[in-house]
Structure 1
Amino acid sequence: MRISARTQYALRAVTELAAAPPGPVPAEKIAVAQNIPRRFLDNILLQLRRAGIIHSQRGPDGGYWLARPAEEITLADVIMVVEGNPEHSQRVDYPGVARPLADVWSALREHEETLLSEITFAHIMKDALP
């Protein structure tokens, strides 16, 4: 699986929000803490807000916060927002003795999806996998 820079930034931003004390976190604080270009981050935060992963508040006391508890937001949730539905390439039928390789690639994709759907941002905060 290849994770784009945009998706990595989104995951880091949500992790930053999961670690923050209750209340709005300014985008600038997230950008500085995670070394994410501000304009890039603004677009990502808008995308996450529209998807219902985070909430926002404008104004001098404004910022962003998680829309649900960190225990309820998985890595797959964020990846799906940023990357969209993963388009699985159609199954390739390999010739001859290489035919079982198609099953290996299919199982690998399935395990990736399962793992990313099990890991929540609460797990990330605890430095542990489920």
Structure 2
Amino acid sequence: MRISARTQYALRAATELAAAPPGPVPAERIAASQNIPRRFLDNILLQLRRAGLIHSQRGPDGGYWLARPAEEITLADVILVVEGNPERPAHGGYPGVARPLADVWSALREYEETLLAEITLAHIAKDSLP
């Protein structure tokens, strides 16, 4: 699985929100602490907000916060918002003795999907993987 820079930034921003104390977190603070270009971050935060993963508030006391508890938002949730539903590549055309490789790639994709659906933002923020 290839994770784009945009998706990595989104995961880092969401984890930053998961680790933050209650209340809005300014985008400037997220960008600075995670070394994410601000313009890029603004687009990612908008995407996460439109998907319902985060909320926002404008103004001097404004910022962003998670829409649900960090224990309820998985890495897969964030990746799905940013990447969309990935198409599965067709690997069924291997000839001869290489034919079982298609099953290996399929099992690997399933493992990745299962793992990402089990790990929450809370796990990452607390450095306690399941």
* Shared fold per TM-score greater than 0.5: yes
Identity of aligned residues (%): 87
State how many pairs are aligned.
Answer: 130
Matches within 5 A, 1:1-130: 1-130=1-130
Give the Cα separation in 2 of the matches to 1:51 and 1:70.
Answer: 15
The Cα of 1:19 is off from its aligned counterpart by 0.5
The Cα of 1:125 is off from its aligned counterpart by 1.9
Q: Which runs of 5+ in 2 are unaligned?
A: none
Give the Cα separation in 2 of the matches to 1:93 and 1:115.
Answer: 27
Give the Cα separation in 1 of the matches to 2:62 and 2:128.
Answer: 31
Give the secondary structure class of the aligned counterpart of 1:30: helix
Q: Which runs of 5+ in 1 are unaligned?
A: none
- Per-residue CA deviations over 1:62-87 (Å, capped at 9, x if unaligned) read 00000000000000000000000011
- Per-residue CA deviations over 1:15-39 (Å, capped at 9, x if unaligned) read 0000000000000000000000000
> Following superposition, which runs of at least 4 residues in structure 1 exceed 3 angstroms of deviation?
none
Give the Cα separation in 2 of the matches to 1:106 and 1:36.
Answer: 33
